[in-house]
Structure 1
């Protein structure tokens, strides 16, 4: 799911993993049967580190010698060790037939007939009906992208960027032209981020390779970020949203913030006070935009060196070369970098609020090994639809639907929304959708609440 190669090319580079000492279930002998109790032990933690088993469509796979070679990253697949990975497998992989061919060498058996299909099968009917909903969405063509929509989107991003430069070049750097150019360039940067997000989810073109190439171009050339770094990071978030130690978006806990009731209480009882968390709702709006983009860019460049991703590195250098060529003649070197920092800080502010409004107010906890549908609904919420909300959020106001169907093109998310709402209503699951500014306010309310929980636990143990 990362890089410029197609899925076929990525998987073809992976050498076959031998049978790990287990008889091959594909031969005439009967397959080995497993219980969930056995599978739960093999997470890479309770057993030797190389023992990692997971279940897909009732078949048991040993990924202990494979997970580090996984094209989507080692962590995203390891997060499901000891669990059922059927729904995330279907959600992340477009060409399932191709991937299944490479999974044969990992197959070690299947669930025993008396074992439920899902480990904690309290929601058996919900799991069944969501999978039917997946099939319905595919039959309705909701997974097929309208490439023209995204081409127009790219053209408008390039036009905004060119217009921002032209305003400064033609009208000079007066206050008014500076403000107009700043708005245009910030919008261009943020919209490029949303387009890169679409490409990274393989939802722009039917051909996966075009998505990978496009993601490298938009992430590297238009944003100055490594496409592969972003994919490794973001796919983990989708696999286990709001699950501490599995969702990398929570890595800021407890460095900068105390998040969620459970984790805040833990921090307080452990007497940890890296920051004054009871004031985090006040410093969040200032600190996050300033920290997020520079940290992301610096770390993504480091990532390209660490993984020797030279193509990503070339795109990033081309991004900065073009920027300097366009703006140093207007501002001079120092002021040009200052202007770049301003644009990225404003972009970071927009990104921070839009990305966090759907997650921070929701449940944040350790992985409870819930089914895919419940996991996504527990960790995400929506913002009400309008033309403005759709545009300014890159359609991430449909965060619930996007998390349930990560490869679904954004222009179809509103179409599947009524079906998701209906399934939620049938099973008594809350489907949250809010006005935009209510969602923003809920971020601060949630931070204030978790900060108070931390302070109470810190003072009273």
Structure 2
């Protein structure tokens, strides 16, 4: 038997570039430089955790069947100073327990129920638009379409985290249908940003879900013009940013209503960029399907004022979902810097907030009210999240880690408080950026 070769954690850290990317899983060191280029979850995840032991992240995102593929990337080295914290041991034990109980495979009938509900909502919307002359019915139809989009997004989210259909091909088809065709938002864009968000949860410079300048800044750290490691550009805090951020607690809800326009824009920017986009052609075709049926439906309305109000009606309902996504993270703890593979559980508990609700409202939140549970076990079907919540709470209590669960109303107040705190700090910086005339006018007379 060949003698084991070892390297230290400090030596592993040196292999942290796209052209030289090593990671460790359970103390074995792997060279994933070439794999990162074709990694289904995108290269951002591996780059963010490069040069580290990433066992907990690997366990969270991969089924047991994935372990057999690691050997081809094994460098022959083991980590000399490999240690496992007590919280990581308990976390991995939980994952094994859930796997042995078959919870990752028991998906329930969520897909069938959701598809039937979505079909009813879209049919009712189209019927109201095409066969009614009532302004009220038209606005109600817009609201129903918005509700359908919310449910469609939850299905797309499910399909992106685990195989909700019988085969990978059908699962990919479900992703294109639910994302691109029905909502106009590319599933490729969602995967690109969402996977990075999960790994770098609430890192101001690594998590794209917190990088919303010039409109929002959840922390005064953004006032230093951080560099986004995800977008590879500076998040400049200029006079325009300062103006918008200074009133972000007042503009929060109006911006959420029109936030969907930004998602459409981000979809087009990615699909027609130079980046390598998985299934680019299918994504483009799917988006074209949306931009065929949606304008056609709107064209059936009698005049432009009703058409605009119809779109705003649908966007206003989906704003509830956009708000929910921000409630889960905006008021949670944030940090600057890359994620660490050896404090996976701690970072997830620190950066997420659950929404308390009755079980009969689970359909409305799509399982994401159990945000911490979802972040810890992203492959777990949403119908299982309520069941595992007590185990997560117990583990948090055992290791003295936060478990925050607020009502929808309380979470809104906390988010507004966070935004207002940053807004007031933006106004009172001792070394302000150059002020523009609009800034001067508002702060002199406003």
Deviation string, structure 1 residues 210-268 (Cα, Å, up to 9, x no partner): 3222111110111112112211111111111111232111221x43222235445777x
Q: Which residue of 1 aligns with 2:6?
A: 33
Q: Which residue of 2 aligns with 1:256?
A: 215
- Could you list the runs of 5+ residues in structure 2 that have no partner in the other structure? 227-235, 434-446
Alignment partner of 2:23 out of 49, 54, 66: 54
SS in 1 for 2:77: strand
Q: Which residue of 2 aligns with 1:111?
A: 78
Q: Which residue of 1 aligns with 2:254?
A: 286
After superposition, the Cα gap between the structure-2 partners of 1:460 and 1:231, relative to the gap in structure 1 and judged at 3 Å, is: closer
CA distance in 2, matches of 1:66, 1:313: 25
Equivalence map 1:294-333=2 (5 Å): 294-306=261-273, 307=277, 309-331=280-302
CA distance in 2, matches of 1:294, 1:145: 36
Equivalence map 1:268-417=2 (5 Å): 272-273=238-239, 274-276=241-243, 277-290=245-258, 292-306=259-273, 307=277, 309-331=280-302, 338=308, 341-343=311-313, 345-366=315-336, 367=338, 369=340, 371-387=343-359, 389-417=361-389
Equivalence map 1:219-258=2 (5 Å): 219-252=179-212, 254-258=213-217
Q: Which residue of 2 aligns with 1:18?
A: none
How does the TM-score come out when normalised to structure 2? 0.85
Q: Which moved more, 1:239-248 or 1:430-439?
A: 239-248
CA distance in 1, matches of 2:15, 2:43: 16
CA distance in 2, matches of 1:130, 1:264: 36
CA distance in 1, matches of 2:47, 2:58: 12
CA distance in 2, matches of 1:421, 1:343: 38
Alignment partner of 1:449 out of 414, 417, 421: 421
- Could you list the runs of 5+ residues in structure 1 that have no partner in the other structure? 1-27, 119-123
How does the TM-score come out when normalised to structure 1? 0.83
SS in 1 for 2:109: helix
Equivalence map 1:158-177=2 (5 Å): 158-172=119-133, 174-177=134-137
- Find out whether 1:83 has 2:52 as its counterpart: yes
CA distance in 2, matches of 1:340, 1:210: 33
SS in 2 for 1:331: coil
Contact 2:31/2:73, CA 8 A, preserved across alignment:
yes
CA distance in 1, matches of 2:246, 2:95: 42
CA distance in 2, matches of 1:137, 1:375: 21
Equivalence map 1:119-130=2 (5 Å): 124-130=85-91
Number of equivalences:
416
**1:80 CA drift (Å):** 0.6
